[in-house]
Structure 1
Amino acid sequence: MDVGNWTSVSEFVLLGLSEQQDLLIIVVLLVTYLVNLAGNSLLLGLVVTDPQLCSPMYFLLSHLAVVDMSFASISLPQALVHALTQHRAVSFTSCMAQLFMFFSVGNMENYLLAAMAYDRYVAVCDPLRYAAVVTRSLCLKMVAASWAVVIAHALLHTVMAANLRYCSNRLQHFFCDMRPLLLLSCARPITTEMVTYTVGFSVWLSPFAFILASYVRIGVAVARLRSAQGLNKALSTCGSHLTMVLLTFSIVMWLYFHPDSSDTQEHDQQVTFLDKVLVPTLNPIIYCLRNKDVAAALRRAGRKVLAWGM
């Protein structure tokens, strides 16, 4: 498109919640955000302070709690401000920064789930060597490598978004994301779209494929046990993590791997809301309810608080 047909965009107006501004939306956003912070802070505090939660699995879980709090904090406080005020504009720089953080933190959750899947695989399939194989050093290396991958991916998408030519600044979303930004481009950026979806799919598929392979191996190992006790132990070991995986990846698959359509934009916003708000809020609840070690640590912490209050 000719350069004269587009103008420089200095800010974006986020319209995702503009037609739903009422007390109910504000209350839902605020309560959900507070529950997210409280639940993940509690889980993080238990892992840090309870000596019985010092295994590599809970080291990874503590990182997941930090990522979940960060994930919600990228979009929810801004959405709350926009729901309470008439000012829904964000600067171009702030939008690009939010996009970068969204891709970094969002993809990091998937890679942490993959690292936790490897932990569960060793715990079920090779329990006698678990302590020697899954060490704190290995977990640190997996976390560091994951951050390197997701930051490079986020930087690539942010640079491409920053170099698009925008013919409008009215973003039909409640935060800055790549899909709605592409829709504002003056001409369809074929190269950018191809890179976005190809690289994005690769970064998403890698942890998903690793998790799937891990659970296939776990399933084969459990099938060989042929005992109800072995099955119950495997479910106890993997149940919480598997629930989180199914919840996270089912939403992501719908959100990013279906054809673009104007009829689906509103639905995309609702699904994105679930992905950015509900999943990070449910993760600590799932682990507190389904994981015996975390539930026991929570009871111990509760008894200590009661003892201090007496």
Structure 2
Amino acid sequence: MDEGNETDVTYFILVGLSEYPRAQVIFFCLLLISYFIILLGNSLILFLIHYDSRLHTPMYFFLSNLSFLDMCYTSSSVPQMLINCLVKIPSISLGQCLAQMCAGLYFGVVECLLLAVMAYDRCIAIGDPLRYSIRMSPQLCVKLAVVSWVAAFLLTVVPTLTMPLEFCGHHMINHFSCEFLAILKRACNDLKFYEWLTMATSCLTLLAPFAFILASYGRILGAVLKMHSAEGRKKAFSTCSSHITVVVMFYGTAISVYMIPQDKTNQDQDKLISLLYGILPSMLNPLIYSLRNKDVKMALRKLMGEEKMSPK
């Protein structure tokens, strides 16, 4: 972004809950606990996948990407939120704010694409199990992961860096972090074209992957219903339930933030929804995938030395 365009405003004050001191103390405690759970849970998932050879499959390769992503995603904003809860004036420099905004957009879009890739993986695993290892080869898995990370960069960071933002007027941002839409509202130049571009990008990165996931699960449902074994149907539903839970939770909050017009008279509600979109899925992903996943629980028991040798 051109330095010449950064007029008047050199820092922002993130309002957050600074107007409610008692609520801010509770918020700090909840946020700290959530961040601890995110780091601990996702680190454990990453370690278990690396530690147990039984988890060296496409499904867990993509899950390891998701766990790493969730730690990066939350670390781009949560530490700053925690610091802001402890200071009287929760300020952030313009450069830090723009970097945080780009990081949040980037990691959010990577998650959208990764969840779509994971749906494709489950579709192949259940719809064509005999050729699963051939169709989802290690080379293809790596390519899909790389495409997700690179495509997200091209769709978010590159357009954002070319956006001619000019800031003037007051420094207040009614948000917990430098969220993209909140920053866009503070720009004092005409950004109509970029607002339309943002909407188009949101359709491409939110609605398109979500539609692909729904189509994938439609095919999965059809394949499951054709199974003659009740045990096979149960296993298939169990395998997919974790992923669909994460999808509903993540896309539900993300679409409500970026695709549904925000109520200007209820900005506090909007920023709380944005917070849920950024924190809740990252915190619950490890719990969902570990508590509902037999393979991960077996790997954890093996790690703790409690796995019992049992017949097939």
Identify whether the pair has TM-score above 0.5, normalized to the shorter chain: yes
Structure 1 regions of 5+ residues with no counterpart?
1-5, 306-310
Q: Give me the identity figure in percent.
A: 38
Q: Does the residue aligned with 1:117 lie in a helix, a strand or coil?
A: helix
The question of whether the paired residues in 2 share the 8 Å contact of 1:120 and 1:238 is answered with yes
User: Match for 1:90: what amino acid?
Assistant: I
**Distance (whole Å) between structure 2 residues aligned to residue 20 and residue 298 of structure 1:** 42
**Distance (whole Å) between structure 2 residues aligned to residue 166 and residue 214 of structure 1:** 47
Q: Which residue of 1 aligns with 2:12?
A: 12
Provide, for residues 120-174 of structure 1, a one-character-per-residue CA deviation record: whole Å limited to 9, x for no partner.
Answer: 0111000000111111111110111111211012224422555244433211111
Q: Does the residue aligned with 2:85 lie in a helix, a strand or coil?
A: helix
**Distance (whole Å) between structure 2 residues aligned to residue 160 and residue 212 of structure 1:** 33
The question of whether the paired residues in 2 share the 8 Å contact of 1:60 and 1:112 is answered with yes
The question of whether the paired residues in 2 share the 8 Å contact of 1:67 and 1:105 is answered with yes
Q: 1:152 to 1:20 in 2, by over 3 A?
A: farther
**TM-score (norm. length: structure 1):** 0.91
User: Match for 1:48: what amino acid?
Assistant: H
1:195 to 180, 197, 210: 197
Q: 1:153 to 1:164 in 2, by over 3 A?
A: farther
Q: 1:64 to 1:167 in 2, by over 3 A?
A: same
1:76 to 70, 75, 78: 78
Deviation, 1:7, is: 4.4
The question of whether the paired residues in 2 share the 8 Å contact of 1:157 and 1:196 is answered with no
Determine whether 1:184 maps to 2:186. yes
Q: Which residue of 2 aligns with 1:224?
A: 226
Considering fraction of residues, name the structure with more helix: 1
**Distance (whole Å) between structure 1 residues aligned to residue 16 and residue 209 of structure 2:** 30
Q: Which residue of 1 aligns with 2:277?
A: 275
Q: Which residue of 1 aligns with 2:143?
A: 141
Q: 1:166 to 1:225 in 2, by over 3 A?
A: farther
**CA RMSD in angstroms, aligned pairs only:** 1.9
1:172 to 159, 169, 174: 174
Q: Which residue of 2 aligns with 1:55?
A: 57
**Distance (whole Å) between structure 1 residues aligned to residue 169 and residue 196 of structure 2:** 21
Q: Which runs of 4+ in 1 moved over 4 A?
A: none
**Distance (whole Å) between structure 2 residues aligned to residue 166 and residue 160 of structure 1:** 19
User: Match for 1:179: what amino acid?
Assistant: L
The question of whether the paired residues in 2 share the 8 Å contact of 1:99 and 1:158 is answered with no
Q: Which residue of 2 aligns with 1:107?
A: 109
The question of whether the paired residues in 2 share the 8 Å contact of 1:96 and 1:158 is answered with no
**TM-score (norm. length: structure 2):** 0.91
1:205 to 192, 204, 207: 207
Q: Does the residue aligned with 2:265 lie in a helix, a strand or coil?
A: helix
Moved more, 147-156 or 55-64: 147-156
Moved more, 121-130 or 210-219: 210-219
